[in-house]
Amino acid sequence: MAARFGSGYYASLAGNTVARCNPVNAPATCKDADLDKAGQH
């Protein structure tokens, strides 16, 4: 998708996750794996 914008920039999260808890202000109970399930019904 970056090629569409003329850039080679690529970002990814460790462990093939799609989201992660904010390391600065997320509550201690936040679990990265739960965020992946948040959009599923």
Residue 2 CA, distance from chain mean position: 17
Q: Residue range 32-36: average pLDDT?
A: 81
Percent of the chain with pLDDT over 90: 24
pTM comes to 0.52
* CA distance from start to end of the chain: 28
pLDDT band at 29 (very low <50, low <70, confident <90, very high): very high
Residue ranges covered by each domain of the chain? 2-37
Q: What pLDDT is recorded for position 12?
A: 80
